[in-house]
Amino acid sequence: MAQGSRRAEGSKEGTGGPHFKANMAARYGFDRVFTVVVTVAALLGIAVLAVLLVDVVRDGSGMLSPGFLTSFPSQIFPENGGIYPALVGSLWLLGLTFLISVPLGLGAAVYLEEYAEDTRINRMIEINISNLAGVPSVIYGLLGLGIFVQLLAPVTGGASVLSGALTLSLLILPVIIVATREALRAIPRAIREGGYALGATRWEVIRSHLLPMALPGALTGIILALSRAIGEAAPILVVGVALYQTYATAGPLDGYMALPTQIYDWISRPQQVFQDSAAAGIVVIMVVLLVANSAAIVLRNRYQRRS
Amino acid sequence: MEGSRLAVEARGARSREGDWRRNSRAREVRERVVKVLLTACAYLSIFTTVGIVIVLFEETVRFFLDVSVWEFLTSTRWVPSRGEFGVLPLVYGTLMATFIAIAVALPIGLLTAIYLSEYAPNSLRRWLKPALEILAGVPTVVYGYFALTFITPFFKDSLFPGMDTFNALAPGLIMGVMIIPTVASVSEDAIYAVPRSLREGAYALGATRRETATKIVIPAALSGIVAAVILGVSRAIGETMIVTIAMGAQANWLGSPLEGMQAMTAYIVQVVGGETPRGSVAFKSIFAVGSALFLMTLALNLISYWFVRRFREIY
């Protein structure tokens, strides 16, 4: 059908010269309009982000002070409350998630890229990893609830910061694996063969050459993955993050609060002062994430220029 | 530096035959141990999937001992406190938000991809792409806050004075903004893969830039674009905090976008965070809802994967 109409257009252009010219003006006009539309569309997302940031800073600036970072949240004097336990809890989550997910992610990536042959099971692992990347984060929360909080309670201490970190680690593993594999794939074959020619074993080549060379690329993925973990609220809500506790987390088996869930708790209260506290908390988490994201981008640009 | 150390190791090994052999056996053992450890890391992903399936389905089966599968799938009443478990209102809430989100993300994401690949000067492209990635990295509680405290009041003051405080429109729109980078980056990959010769052929025939983009490049990249949209739908269905914060906690079958409604993901979070006792039917129901959610996103992800592969095979 489309082809038929195109042919009709063609014959019209062929027969009438003046008609063709008028058509050209319309076409170029439409072309200019389209250029504007495309440009506006591309900048629209950034514009929303800018409005969002301005709005949040405006709402939260009244609450932001050094004391906001070092005080406990307060029900009685909410205007003096802060995010101290949530900040500590998020740092614990970050540290433990890093320790758990990075070795596992690097290991899986090295296996898939350097060891795995093209067998059915390895192909299945690959499809599986790309599927896991698309599983909603709240489902990981249910997994963590069933396995880490309930089944492994004697080891993890139930709804502890360790359970939260294990859950987040599973969530971000696919991201780390994909980024590390891409970095490994970019390393020329000659490096590996040079190593083997000198009598090095496969693992020796990986440890001394491939991992150090893949590190900048892998690190970009790791930073992006960890900044995602830090911002996630849904899975840790399901595995039992505390919305209020009177102490700051001091060990892996302690209970914990976290920044995004603290923000969520504040948002769901009607009083204006809590809304403002939420906005101030958002400013803090956005600053952390923007710094992390910029670091990842700088790292990637430098790495891309080198290779 | 590392390379020279390797060379020294190799030389040392060659000069001492006895050492070499013993060393070599140790190295062989180490190689085998390392390989086993790395394999275990890779197989962890299989265990994760198996774990998800077992946890979800075990509790779901227990739920279906109390509530009939038929009621769950066909009833349009979801009132857990009264023991009414028809999942359709939750699915409706999820799909309403998803539909609004895609209505935003598909045109804007696609136009962004066209701009990035066909129009943007290189210098602009270099900072626009990372900026878009930041859009995808904003925590969803932040988007939720924005939908609830900025977008909804804005609509109430201007277009829809009768709108509920919790509604589907504001979180849907914001979710769309969140998904723009996903749709844009996957469709840009597809557009990028369209051979240059097709574009140049079009220009040689006198096509304008817009005609080349919309009549040649987009049709050629269509399967990749479809994959991008499916991936976006899957993201929107699984998104949790935006709808939890801004869409409400009341299941609403066939409500208008200006009314509050409850999404599947929001129901899970709201029950877990509430006072529902463990082991009750209502608590088990979150796993049944989770299973439905998992199956929906799994199907979409597989379809999208299939589309991407198919489009790769063409070029």
Q: Which of A48, A112, A289 sits opposite B137 (nearest CB)?
A: A289
Residue in B46, B108, B231 closest to A45 by CB: B108
* Closest CB from A122, A128, A234 relative to B240: A234
CA-nearest of A34, A255, A236, A211 to A145 is A236
Structure confidence at residue A301 (pLDDT): 76
List, for residues B121-133, the tens digit of each pLDDT value. 988 888 888 888 8
Q: How confident is the model at residue A141 (pLDDT cuts 50, 70, 90)?
A: very high
**Which domains, from first to last, does chain A contain?**
87-256 (1.10.3720.10)
Residues of B in contact with A299 (CB under 8 A): none
Q: Are B171 and B98 in contact (CB under 8 A)?
A: no
Q: Give A-chain residues touching B46 at CB under 8 angstroms.
A: 124-125, 128
CA atoms of A298 and A285, how far apart (whole Å): 20
- Residue B99 confidence (pLDDT): 97
Q: Which tokens belong to B29?
A: 């053992």
Residue B2 predicted with pLDDT over 70: no
Record: contact B290-A139, CB cut-off 8 A: yes
Residues of chain B neighbouring A135 (CB-CB closer than 8 A)? 52, 238, 294, 297-298
CA distance B301 to chain A (A): 6
Residue B68 distance to chain A (closest CA, Å): 22
Q: Which residues contact A265 (CB under 8 A, 6 or more apart)?
A: A243, A244
Give pLDDT, residue B312: 60
Does residue A207 register a pLDDT over 90?
yes
Residues whose CB is less than 8 angstroms from the CB of residue B51 and which lie 6 or more positions away in sequence, other chains included: A143, A146, A147
Partner-chain contact A108 B119, CB within 8 Å: no
pLDDT in the model for residue B294? 96
ipTM given for this complex: 0.89
Region A37-58 average pLDDT: 94
By CA distance, what is B233's nearest residue in A? Answer: A134
The answer to whether the Cβ–Cβ distance between A260 and B137 falls below 8 Å is no
Residue B52 in tokens: 């998800």
**pLDDT average, residue stretch A267-281:** 93
Residue entry with tokens 């198996």: B50
Give percent of chain A with pLDDT exceeding 90: 73
Reading the block at residue B237, the tokens are 């269905």
Nearest Cα neighbor of A113 from A131, A103, A125 is A125
* Segment A210-225, tens digit of pLDDT: 999 999 889 989 999 9
B258-273 pLDDT, tens digit each: 999 999 999 999 999 8
Mutate to test the interface with A, among B241, B298, B312 (most CBs of A within 10 A): B241
Name the H helices within A61-201.
66-70, 84-110, 120-132, 137-144, 153-156, 161-185, 189-197
B3 to chain A: which residues are within 8 Å by CB?
Answer: 194, 208-209
pLDDT of B210-261, one tens digit each? Answer: 999 999 999 999 988 999 999 999 999 999 999 999 999 999 999 999 999 9
Distance from the Cα of B119 to chain A's closest Cα (Å) equals 8
**How far is CA A103 from each of CA A96, A97, B41, rounded to the nearest angstrom?**
12, 10, 9
**How near does any CA of chain B get to the CA of A91, in Å?**
16
Q: In degrees, to the nearest 5, what angle opens at C-alpha A224 toward C-alphas A220 and A228?
A: 165
* Contact yes or no for A278/A263 (Cβ under 8 A): yes
Q: B136-147, pLDDT tens digit by residue?
A: 889 999 999 999
Partner-chain contact B55 A142, CB within 8 Å? yes
> Does the pLDDT at position A125 exceed 80?
yes
Q: At what angle do helices A211-231 and A259-267 cross, to 10 degrees?
A: 20
- Interchain contact, A107 vs B40, CB within 8 Å: yes
Residues 6+ apart with CB under 8 A from A244: A73, A257, A265
For range A141-166, the mean pLDDT: 95
Q: For testing the chain A interface, which of B19, B125, B141 should be mutated: the one with the most A CBs within 10 Å?
A: B141
What is the least distance, in Å, from the CA of A265 to any CA of chain B? 10
Distance CA A80, CA B228 (A): 46
Chain B interface, best mutation among A38, A53, A151, by max B CB count within 10 A: A38
Q: Does A136 have pLDDT greater than 60?
A: yes
pLDDT band at A305 (very low <50, low <70, confident <90, very high): low
**At CA A307, angle to CA A303 and CA B5, rounded to 5?**
95
pLDDT in tens, B153-183: 999 999 999 999 999 999 999 999 999 999 9
pLDDT of the residue at A74: 86
Contacts of A123 (CB under 8 A, 6+ apart): none
Could you give the CA distance from residue A249 to residue B314 in angstroms, rounded to a whole number? 54
Angle at alpha carbon of residue A289, lines to A285 and A295, rounded to 5°:
150
Residues of A within 8 A of B146 (CB-CB) are 52, 55-56
CB contact under 8 A, B42 and A116: yes
> To the nearest whole angstrom, how far is the Cα of B256 from the nearest Cα of chain A?
23
**pLDDT given for residue A7 in this prediction:** 44
B38 closest CB neighbour out of A38, A115, A173: A115
List, for residues A70-79, the tens digit of each pLDDT value: 999 988 888 8
Kindly indicate the confidence band of residue B314, based on its pLDDT and cuts at 50, 70 and 90: low
**In chain A, whose CA is at the least distance from the CA of B299?**
A131
Q: Match 């998904």 to its residue by tokens.
A: B179
- Most B CBs within 10 A among A142, A201, A202, A297, hence the mutation to make, goes to A142
CB contacts, 8 Å: A279 with chain B: 145, 149
Contact in structure between B113 and A263 (CB atoms under 8 Å): no
User: Of B58, B211, B301, which is closest to A134 when you measure between CB atoms?
Assistant: B301
pTM, entire model: 0.89
What is the C-alpha end-to-end distance of chain A, expressed in Å? 49
CA distances from B138 to A20, A210, A232, A285, B51 (A): 50, 32, 10, 9, 29
Q: B228: closest CA among B112, B97, B91, B100?
A: B112
C-alpha dist (Å) from residue A252 to A157, A241, B271? 9, 13, 26
Residues A123, B309: Cα–Cα separation, whole Å: 14
* B31/A267 Cβ within 8 A: no
User: Residue A21: its pLDDT value, please?
Assistant: 57
Give the phi and the psi of residue B193 in degrees, each rounded to 5.
-75, -10
Return the closest-CA partner of residue B272 out of A266, A157, A233, A162.
Answer: A233
Tell if the CB–CB gap between B245 and A174 is shorter than 8 Å.
Answer: no
Place of tokens 């080349």: B212
Mean pLDDT across A87-91:
96
Q: What is the predicted pLDDT for the residue at A118?
A: 87
Q: Which of A23, A32, A48, A168 to mutate to test the interface with B (most CBs of B within 10 A)?
A: A48
- Using the predicted structure, report yes or no on whether residue B1 has a pLDDT greater than 50: no
* Interchain CB distance below 8 Å, B58 and A170: no
Given this model, what pLDDT does residue A14 score? 46
Rounded-to-integer distance, Cα A169 and Cα A159, Å? 15
Q: Does the pLDDT at position B13 exceed 60?
A: no
Contact B51 A224 (CB under 8 A): no
* A85 close to A249: Cβ distance less than 8 angstroms: yes
Cβ within 8 Å, pair A267-B59:
no
CB B31 within 8 Å of CB A203: yes
